[in-house]
């Protein structure tokens, strides 16, 4: 759910096989990049500053993206 605190669960929504989750900062830089064979991945966001991020998942030639809002208390 948005906004996220110190962790976010990223999901590839049913796609299987190895893939990559990427988190992009507002200026287009890769803030996090994780390779995983799992459908879901628990991302530690505690090192990310507050802001809006673009999250992408690429698996089996398919790509999905969503917006993530990081909020520090």
Q: 3-class DSSP state for residue 39? A: coil
What is the residue whose two structure tokens read 């992408």?
56
pLDDT tier at 1, thresholds 50, 70, 90: low
What CA–CA distance (Å, rounded) separates 14 from 39?
Answer: 7
Prediction pTM value: 0.86
11-51 residue pLDDT tens: 877 667 789 999 999 999 999 999 988 888 899 999 999 99
The pLDDT score that the predictor gives to residue 35 is 94
What's the confidence (pLDDT) of residue 11? 83
Confidence of residue 73 (pLDDT cuts 50, 70, 90): low
Q: Is 2 exposed, middle or buried (0-12, 13-18, 19+ CB in 10 A)?
A: exposed
Burial class of 21 by CB neighbour count within 10 A (0 to 12, 13 to 18, 19+): buried
């Amino acid at each position: 759910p948005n906004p996220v605190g110190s962790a976010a669960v990223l999901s590839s929504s049913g796609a299987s096989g190895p893939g990559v989750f990427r988190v992009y900062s507002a200026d287009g830089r890769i803030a996090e990049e994780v390779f995983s064979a799992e459908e879901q991945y628990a991302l530690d966001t505690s090192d990310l500053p507050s802001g809006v991020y673009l999250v992408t998942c690429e698996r089996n030639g398919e790509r999905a993206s969503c917006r993530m809002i990081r909020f520090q208390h």
